[in-house]
Amino acid sequence: MKREFTEQEQVRREKLASYEALGIDPFRNFFTPDIDSVTLFETYDKYTKEELEALDKHVKYAGRIMTKREMGKAAFVHIKDMHGQVQAYIRKDAIEDEFDIFKLSDIGDIIGVEGTVFRTNKDELSIKVEKYVHLTKALKPLPDKFHGLQDVEERYRRRYVDLIMNEDSRRVAYLRPRIIRAIQNYLDDKGLVEVETPMLHTILGGASAKPFLTHHNTLDQQYNLRIAPELPLKRLIVGGFDGVYEIGRMFRNEGMSTRHSPEYTMLELYQSYSNMEGMMDITENLIATVAEKVLNTTEVVYGDKEISLKAPFKRLKMTDAIKEATGVDLESMTEFEDALAAAKAHGLNPEKHEMSYGHIINLFFERYVEHTIVQPTFVYHYPIEISPLASRNQVDERFTDRFELFIDGREYANAYTELSNPIDQEQRFQHQVDLKDLGDEEATEMDIDYVEALEYGMPPTGGMGLGIDRLVMLLTNSESIRDVILFPLMRTK
């Protein structure tokens, strides 16, 4: 297919011959900077114009041309690196023959400059160029600097252009790894061991979700891309690890929205000799510590709301939250028919696979409570029917020692006292198989190997999963999950 070029693109291509005539390869040159924009300003911005002249400090700096203002035999350009941009002052009499090479430059080109740090008459810290090196020719022009990429879809498709033009996109991109590193440091300090588990699973388990499917040709076997690392991680607890965690990609074949991506990053951790309450402690302290480490505060703004991430977080029983919102006391109901009648009276119509006491509680919560929670809140004691891997509550076995963390109407974490009884676990798996037969595509499957692992004995254990993307959204005040994933999944154009 023959490509068509815009007038600007054609002009840039025509310049390639001029570079070659000057003995310059437009794409293969080498230059090693010895300073970046942040270090340059941190080191030299404290000096006056006269002090910089006395210092006569020589530096080597490289980056992309963002602005170019020519004035006959001199020019000012702004050069951007990873952290920011620096102004360079270029004069023909200072760089001699290299000035002809500079004249061929366009906004977007990558260059290197050597020279002395000085202040202009307008007091802007700059580099007075003594040597100019062309590094890479940009054959496409950058978008207008005041508007960038206006098409949101194009921002995600051409993330490389978005990162060049959009300061907020770069801020989020740089903060994300700092957030993940702070999480790792916190858990490492707690004595947990970071591990890696398989992404290809033969059995669907660890969460309720619809998987992506793939096929291994040599083994001639179908695999699921993992929806959770839970069961392999708990096998490690059986194997003698006191605490483990993994931060990795998960894949769920479900809808896409500002809150959901089919490919996303999750933290899961498991700590032996812990329980639901222990997971509440580690979750709230982890989030508060990371916020303090990365943002220097636990008070954040998300959208138009001020949210405090200072521990401890509010703790609210699921049935109490429903009663407060609707006046319906589901916990006191002992007959399924009573719960079903209450559901229908409140406009809830359970599907075939939701015809249980626990599913009705969950429907009430999702309809009337979830969206009302703003400040960080642990909602606990989830029904057993929707918690196939959580330990039963010892006081009321209709419920489990499980919680989810909600902030501003969104779920951020899921945790519980792990089920260590292999007999109970096998029965729970069987119940999930029955639900799948009734049409629940997100039900888990029977994992006999995991049941047998529990038969060797797993110590009392607490486990927690935390959505990394949503946490990054919260800490960076990003509206969409696509804003915090560098290369989100997109429909083919």
Q: Where are the domains of the chain?
A: 7-142, 165-313+375-483
Closest CA to 39 of 89, 83, 79, 87: 83
**What is the CATH superfamily name and number for domain 7-142?**
Nucleic acid-binding proteins (2.40.50.140)
Q: Which residue has the higher pLDDT, 286 or 210?
A: 286
Mean pLDDT of 60-78: 96
How far apart (Å, rounded) are the C-alpha atoms in residues 465 and 230? 9
Torsion 424-370-207-272 (CA) sign: negative
Fold of 165-313+375-483: BirA Bifunctional Protein; domain 2 (3.30.930)
Asked if the model's pLDDT at residue 146 lies above 60, the reply is: no
Crossing angle of helices 468-476/276-295, nearest 10°?
Answer: 40
At residue 74's C-alpha, the angle toward residues 73 and 80, to 5°, is 145
pLDDT band per the 50, 70, 90 thresholds, residue 149: low
Residue 175 phi/psi, 5-degree rounding, is -75, -35
Its pTM stands at: 0.90
The per-residue pLDDT for range 304-353, each reduced to its tens digit, is 999 999 999 999 999 999 999 999 999 999 899 999 999 999 999 999 88
% of the chain at pLDDT higher than 90: 84
Question: Closest by alpha carbon to 200, among 211, 189, 190?
Answer: 211
Place of tokens 């002992």: 334
